[in-house]
Structure 1
Amino acid sequence: MRTGDRRFENQAYRASGLNLLVVAVILWNTRYLQSSIVTLGISDDLARHIAPLGWEHISLTGDYRWNVDEQPDVDALRPLRVPASLLVA
């Protein structure tokens, strides 16, 4: 399929792929936001203003290789990056 192909069917395939990508990013962010909210003790009033739509931390360019032998459990999350407190001397 050429990148300039404007047939409806090919445009629909691209749109479906983009929708799948957006949903995957939102799911990923939602799972980690939930973990962050619990870990940091963020109140429900503040949490309702946080959206899972950001994707600056997701790289969408290049080649991706995963070692299938090192896959985590389905329900496992990576550890959260907790920055050091500014109050620590």
Structure 2
Amino acid sequence: MTNDLAKRIIDLRESKNWTQTQLAKKMDLSKSIMSKIESGHRKITTDELKSLAEIFGVSTDYLLGIASSTTSSQTTSFDIHDLLESNAQDSLQ
């Protein structure tokens, strides 16, 4: 089952016509780790989340599904650790 974070990463990667290998290289990760992130079998770290946001030019809120568009004028405060834990739990279901 693909969670929202994984789906957004895949959609953004595909919109750039990048392979998992290309994105993994930009993030200094292996293709195997990128595959596990996209399939929801591996938690993403805060640093990796920030890196993805920078690479794609989107907010972390967008990647996490808090914002529905890649550009958000609304600022909301969330505990990133709680969101990542929730994301990990969703991927296990």
Length-normalised TM-score, structure 1:
0.28
Q: Greater relative contact order (Cα 8 A, min sep 6): structure 1 or 2?
A: 2
Q: Which of structures 1 and 2 has the bigger CA Rg?
A: 1
Q: Which has the higher helix share?
A: 2
Q: TM-score scaled to structure 2, two decimals? A: 0.27
